[in-house]
Structure 1
Amino acid sequence: MILQIVRYIVALVFGVVATAAFAGIRNTRKNIFGLSIVSLGILLLQLVFLILMGLDQTLALYPIHTHLILIVFLIFHFECTCLDAVIYTLLAYMCCQIPAWFSKLAIYTPFNSGGLELTIYIVTVCATLYLICRFAAKPVHELVQSSTRSAIAFSLVPVTYYLFDYVTTVWTQLLYTGNYHITQFMPLIVCVSYLIFAVIYNKEQKKRVQSNEERTMLENELYNVENEIESLSELEHKTRVYRHDMRHHLSLLLMYLEEDQIKEAKTYIQENLKTIDSFTPKRYCDMQILNLLLSHFAGRAEEIGASYHPDIKLPDHLPLSNMEICTLVSNALENAFDATENVPVGRRMVEVRIQEFQEQLVISIDNSCNNDIVIIDNLPQASRTGHGYGTKSIQSIAKVHGGMALFQVKEEIFSLMVTIPLHNITV
């Protein structure tokens, strides 16, 4: 009887500690105190049930006076969700099978006794708790927290095992009748649950990997845009410096003219015009950052021999931040120039229009291209691995501001049209 009581207490401690480990409860004094109080309360309640109803009824009602209380404690004290609390508790219950199974090995030894069985049980409990806390608790907790679908798939085995164990060994003796379908039920559930979990987990992992890749690519693109704008701002700084030095240039020109050195004056003017053209951004609009960006792509158009026609008429109020509109336009023009470089010189063309139309900000970009661009679900498909995030970034910015981005290919012309309400509605 004493051995049974000791084993009973050890099993309770194992269940509480394992549940807390799976739930990710930190090992602090406050948490240890709370778990100790709830364990003592459960033990006293079990004692009341034992006195009033006997051992068999106490074991049969274990889900009520132990597991239910532990689940409620996790929900209200540690703010676990109901689903998570159930999973952690039933998973810990399932893990009780490990020391229980090993302790029964005592019957195969010549020293078989209740004391040996209890000793093996306690040693195995300590070893199992160490392995759970050291290796299994954190991955299990992260898996349960990752998504509801993963948590449900993961819970199939512990929930089924819990019900099966009570129905076939505690509330009835069906497991010991030798019925084939009863004895093979849990292997069936393990097999089915494994397949279901593998499918769901694989899908969740693919989504997570894709999401991380897209986030990384978008962050890199934003970083590139910031660097691009910074380099263009340096050009503008050079322009301001040159403008500041204009007095010296004019003084030198005046000296040439006063001394009738017309040829030297013309040469000096031509040299300065070349210098100014090399770093002076063209003016397309009043928005400084956008103007710098459009000027940058004008240089690229000149390099590849493409016609480039920005037509910018900005409204008084823009629904996008400076960084958002530059990210959007930069991604769109980068894709446009990449595409138009693939067509013969003479047909290379990029046209940009930004204007207000029917209380919408309309950004329209057309460029020449080959007819090998495929659009699926209104999204151009990337021809190379690691590409295609620019168009997703454009769609994302438009969607956040209640607008839309439309992509179209027709007669070797790729068209992008982004419309965003001027009365910004963020979703």
Structure 2
Amino acid sequence: MSDNNSRRRFLLGAAGLAAAPVVAGVAGCTPGEQTPAGRRTAGSAAGGGATAANAITLAARRRLGSLEVSSVGLGCQTMPGTLYGPVSSRENMITIIRTAVDQGVTLFDTAEVYGPLESERILGEALQPVRDRVVIATKFGFEVDQQTGERGGLDSRPDHIRQAVDGMLQRLRTDRIDLLYQHRVDPAVPIEDVAGAVKELITTGKVRHWGLSEPGVQTIRRAHTVQPLAAIQNQYNLLARDPEEQVLPLCEELGIGFVCWAPLSYGFTTGTINPYTRFAEGDFRASVPQFSRENMTANMAVVQLLQNWGVRKGATPGQLSLAWLQAQKPWIVPIPSATRTAHLLENIGTEDVTFAGDELRDFTTALNAIRIRGERVPAPVLAGTGVEAPRP
């Protein structure tokens, strides 16, 4: 058996193990590092244990502007247990992050509002011993009480940005943020003022690079003029392809990298949720229009496409989802989240999955023929995307 086939067989087995409780019909339940029979997986020990030892080590690198990162990053939004439901433990989240470092991941993504504050704290503790080996990305842009974490509305005033960054540095246990995003455009603050404040932070060494998340296209141009952007971070996956029309061409024109959040469609394109899935109380996915029972039934055509190609390519649906995104442009980097070691290792295994020219064309043609039903996020969240900042 070839080395690549051995790796893929391991990853397919790990993915099946991790997905088992969800396939049974319940998503969002406490995702502990245990098998259905209650045994811990080999990867639950510090450093990843035997599972990580048998998994692929991520070697490929990509560039976001002038910033070099691993071809797959790790999104840490779900680690506080407030988005998809409770997680196994804080200690397990730290172990997963450190396993990711051991397996070659260098890009770690968080935000002030994830938790709020707790995701940054988890990431800071996990990465402190290996700080110089990794790229830390986080985001500002909301009113967040630095002690209680109570969240208010948008706030990208320069003074608030500086205050937010000081809090981030403390929680992340570091002296600099490698990639700082404006989380959402503030319709009350000119982007020139935001870019100017970040430029000052770059000059002082507290920030190295910066980016925008879900901005309007003219706002991208204006921000880039004041301080060159390293990355745009928007939702991009097989069910949400909005960036293809304007944002990706603009990134290519300006030399800006692109980071995909929710690259696995909140787990949908891994094949582990379906119209019969019952989301746990508080699980964000229950409010996503694409996941109403009627819409999800129609959207299952995407999962079927992935499963068919998975047999053909010897890969999991999730790996194919990530590989398709990477195949669009060499400067696109997905940041799937993971609260189980097996999910992390499966995502890293995407490095072994590629599309030949004809395969990419055939897969995309089949994908284009599927009509996606429902919006990608709830209406109040969607209203905050694609916003153009006011003029000075």
TM-score (norm 2): 0.20
Q: Which has the larger radius of gyration?
A: 1
Q: Which has the higher contact order (CA 8 A, sep 6+)?
A: 2
More helix, by proportion: 1
TM-score (norm 1): 0.19
